[in-house]
Amino acid sequence: MTKSTVGYGSCHIIVRDQFLQMLPERGLYWRDQRILFVADLHLGKDATFRQAGLAVPAASSRDSLNRLQQLVQSFEPTECVILGDLIHAADSLNERVHDEISDFFARVVGCKWRLIKGNHDRHTKKWPEHWPLVIEPAGCVEGPFQFLHIPPSEPVSSAELKKGSEIPTTNAPFYLAGHIHPAWRGTGSILVREKLPCFWMSRQGIVLPAFGTFTGTKLIERLKQQRVFVIADSQVIEV
């Protein structure tokens, strides 16, 4: 992936008169304010699994950081907001992972960094002081948007709300969140039934796909007035 191809195949939407760009690299770019959003990196998850005796590759955190660096260098945002779960677990931040993250921040010095604390981040009691992170324990509001980790009311499944029911609207800020690791599986041809990461949009907000290389996904069900944008073949496509 080169700088000239980063963001190619993205999908553009307008929310509350603001221009948002859903990126096939699993990020969201707020063009008007030049803010880049990613969610759920789960750095150090490989370290946690290896400490438990599971033979998983040790390069997933480095790969996630390299992909994020490419996004930052391509879009040159003034700020990058991580919508929770930067670190996977308390024992994920070993010396190797600590050094990989420190080296990453040294390479992207032109960008401000904000972390909306996720449920996994809460296990990390002390953050390295030299990391340029502004940490928001409970989210924050900027303009028409609310930055969160867990959506204020997680999109309900068909077990909780009959499919086709309308989603109530509110006057609350439009949220940008993570946590769920949403994925979509079509019901048509077997050729398009692969589980694909997606952006999950309702009237109240957008849930971003997990950015991390070593993360799972959760299949979602679309309700009436929800929109799903899958990432397939380096493109963001509404289904």
Give the pLDDT score at 120: 80
Report which of 147, 149, 5 is spatially closest to residue 71, judged by C-alpha positions: 5
Give the pLDDT score at 157: 45
Give the pLDDT score at 55: 52
Give the pLDDT score at 167: 44
Give the pLDDT score at 17: 96
User: What is the per-residue pLDDT across 202-234, written as a single tens digit (0 to 9) for each?
Assistant: 999 999 999 998 788 999 999 888 999 999 989
Q: Which residues in the chain land under pLDDT 70?
A: 1-5, 47-59, 154-170, 188-193
Give the pLDDT score at 165: 41
Give the pLDDT score at 156: 46
Give the pLDDT score at 56: 59
Give the pLDDT score at 193: 65
Name every residue whose Cβ is closer than 8 Å to that of residue 99 and which is 6 or more positions away in sequence: none
The pTM of the full predicted model, rounded to 2 decimals, is 0.87
Which CATH class name applies to 11-238? alpha beta
C-beta neighbour count of 160 within 10 angstroms: 10
Name every residue whose Cβ is closer than 8 Å to that of residue 198 and which is 6 or more positions away in sequence: 182, 183, 184, 209, 220, 228, 229, 230, 231, 239
Backbone angles phi, psi at 136, to 5 degrees: -105, 105
